[in-house]
Amino acid sequence: MKITGSQVVIECLVEQGVDTIFGYPGGAILNIYDELYKNSDRIRHILTAHEQGAAHAADGYARATGKTGVVFATSGPGATNLVTGIATAYMDSSPMVAITCNVPSSLLGKDSFQEIDITGVTMPITKHNFMVRRVEDLAFTIREAFLIAKSGRPGPVLIDIPKEVTAALVDFEPLAAGDDGMAKAAAGNGNLRRVFSVAEPTDEEIAAAAELINSAERPVIYAGGGVVISGAEKELLEFAEKADIPVSESLMARSAFPSKHPLCTWMVGMHGTKASNMAITESDLVLALGARFSDRVTSDASKFAQNSRVFQIDIDPAEINKNIPTCGSLVGDIGQILKRLIPLVDSKKHGGWVKQVQEWMKEVPSCYAKDPKDSINPKFICEYINKVAGDDAFITTEVGQHQMWTAQFYPFSKPRTFVTSGGLGTMGFGTGAAIGIQCALPKARVVHIAGDGSFRMNCNELATIQHYNLPIVIVVMNNGALGNVRMWQRLFYGKRFSQTTLDFGPDWVKLAEAYGIQGFRARNAKEFASVFDKAFASGKAAVIDARVDIDEMVLPMVPGGKPIYNQIMELSSEMMD
């Protein structure tokens, strides 16, 4: 059966179970969009306001569902507008396939209109990328791309297709009914160019790890985003409860373990709890599960868990001993490894140790207790959203103080319900991600917590939210500043607030209304409770301008380069004046 390259793209996406594509059309990709029009009953396309929003939406779709997100863009600036979204997915190990089209092959390398070497641009931020020069290679490449994106440690893959390839005819052999497209990625030529197999530790290695765990008197678990990616939340809970081990979490793992569980110490690192940071410091064994020891966690790496043994479990062998030296490791899928470890670990109680960790949990900065009359406490905002939205709601954020407050105060209890940009720290991520989640799970409720600085970067996606009638509630923690940077300027730069005060528009309520979305303003806790109740109950999109004091701080805080036990818990009057 002869079909065009554009038809091959659509047929292969259907094979892979793709039901939604996010994107933005342009000249080079028109053949594919024309074919997409003819197949709108098979694949839904979400037109965003900007390609970056489309990339973040595909990422959010992937993080909420575990499936591979798909994004389309045209050549030149369309493709380069995906770069930040691709890099965000790469840093946080989110599976994504980006399909771009380029100028015809005869025009490549000639500085043609809207030509860009997008495979060269994205080489450092993709698991792999392809330029498909022959239509005969197209089906195989798409199938392989999905295999690469999901296998092992997930991540983004880019496929660039010159325009003439999308129009060329080729004999196409569809996968037989019931065939697994991932398993059949080699269909066509029978040889995978890359094999991404997952290692399986030996029984002896598992037994040795269990013996190490059983011998520890002050163990602590450092859970990373790999626990969520692996879907290993149940195994982590069973493991921690049986061995009676406190669980600290990276930012990416904040939904990996029930926040209200007595063994949960919440976030670790620069803005982590005292319990998490001190548990790591005073432990005799740190079990790192799917965590990469980011500098925001370790700070001064030479003093991180310096009196403890560190044992690392990760699917990516490149992460072992990369940032922190270990006494041992297991390479493989975290969920499968924990299933094998659980029968071998002792059922025991670390009574004194757990009691000490729980005492540390009681030590919180007193500044969060204030109840201002002309602004809203961020802790109240997070806790009230959870009270109304419930544990099933998905929470997205941008990047900044509001992100840290959400991680510090929101009591996540279910996996994948917290979606945020960790490794790259991408301001502008959250609105697109919220769109992706709501499109993937239309019956779910999505609340997007943003900062006024970050929201400026992607508020154009309000058009997408309104057009597709997505009931996303956006809470803008509006402190009139680039709060995180201002906080550093206050503490470490002599209060020289260079270019961080946002004392100019827009009016978020009026902007929302301009897009046909209901807007609310709240200046204190009582007003916030009232307008959030109304917005959430409406079942429609809403923007809430929630006023937060410009000098509200994110505490605890570890100054850059200091050991994680060196936390600022309180601010002196000099710091606040």
Please state the CATH superfamily assignment of the domain spanning residues 203-361 in this structure. Answer: TPP-binding domain (3.40.50.1220)
Output DSSP code: residue 105. Answer: G
Output DSSP code: residue 309. Answer: E
pLDDT tens by residue, 52-103? 999 999 999 999 999 999 999 999 999 999 999 999 999 999 999 999 999 9
96-102/264-267 β-pairing? unpaired
What does the alpha-carbon distance between residue 463 and residue 474 come to, in Å, rounded to a whole number?
Answer: 13
Cβ contact 143:187 at 8 Å:
yes
State the DSSP H helix or E strand holding residue 289, giving kind and residue range, or none if neither. strand 285-289
Cβ contact 237:257 at 8 Å:
yes
pLDDT score recorded for residue 571: 77
Output DSSP code: residue 198. Answer: P
Mean pLDDT within 186-210: 72
Cross-sheet strand order for the sheet of 156-162: 44-47, 20-23, 69-73, 96-102, 156-162, 128-131
pLDDT tens by residue, 469-486? 999 999 999 999 999 999
Mean pLDDT within 30-36: 98
State the DSSP H helix or E strand holding residue 170, giving kind and residue range, or none if neither. strand 169-171
Task: Return the half-sphere exposure (C-beta side, CA atoms, 13 A cut-off) of residue 111.
Answer: 0
pLDDT tens by residue, 222-259? 999 999 999 999 999 999 999 999 999 999 999 999 99
Burial class (CB in 10 A: 0-12, 13-18, 19+), 194: exposed
Residue 23, pLDDT above cutoff 60: yes
pLDDT tens by residue, 143-158? 999 999 999 999 999 9
Q: Read off the pTM.
A: 0.95
**Amino acid (1-letter code) at residue 258:** P
Angle at 447 between CA 444 and CA 452, to 5 degrees: 155
Q: Is the alpha carbon torsion for 383, 385, 390, 392 positive or negative?
A: negative
pLDDT tens by residue, 492-549? 999 999 999 999 989 999 999 999 999 999 999 999 999 999 999 999 999 999 999 9
Residue 560 confidence class, pLDDT cut points 50, 70, 90? confident
State the DSSP H helix or E strand holding residue 575, giving kind and residue range, or none if neither. helix 573-576
State the DSSP H helix or E strand holding residue 14, giving kind and residue range, or none if neither. helix 5-15
What does the alpha-carbon distance between residue 453 and residue 434 come to, in Å, rounded to a whole number?
Answer: 17
Task: Return the half-sphere exposure (C-beta side, CA atoms, 13 A cut-off) of residue 286.
Answer: 31
Which architecture does CATH list for 366-554? 3-Layer(aba) Sandwich (3.40)
Residue 570 confidence class, pLDDT cut points 50, 70, 90? confident
Residue 41, pLDDT above cutoff 80: yes
376's CB contacts (< 8 A; 6+ apart) are 522, 523, 524, 525, 528, 546, 547, 548
3-state secondary structure of 162: strand
**How crowded is residue 339: how many other Cβ atoms within 10 Å of its Cβ?**
15
pLDDT tens by residue, 313-339? 999 999 999 999 999 999 999 999 999
pLDDT score recorded for residue 187: 44
Question: What residue segments make up the domains of the chain, in order of their start?
Answer: 2-171, 203-361, 366-554
Fold match flag (2-171 vs 366-554) = yes
Residue 196, pLDDT above cutoff 80: no
pLDDT score recorded for residue 183: 53
2-171, which class in CATH?
A: alpha beta
pLDDT score recorded for residue 372: 66
Cβ contact 259:408 at 8 Å:
no
Structure tokens at 423: 């490794």
The DSSP result for 487-547, as a single string, is HHHHHHSTT--TT-B--S---HHHHHHHTT-EEEEESSHHHHHHHHHHHHHHTS-EEEEEE
Residue 573 confidence class, pLDDT cut points 50, 70, 90? low
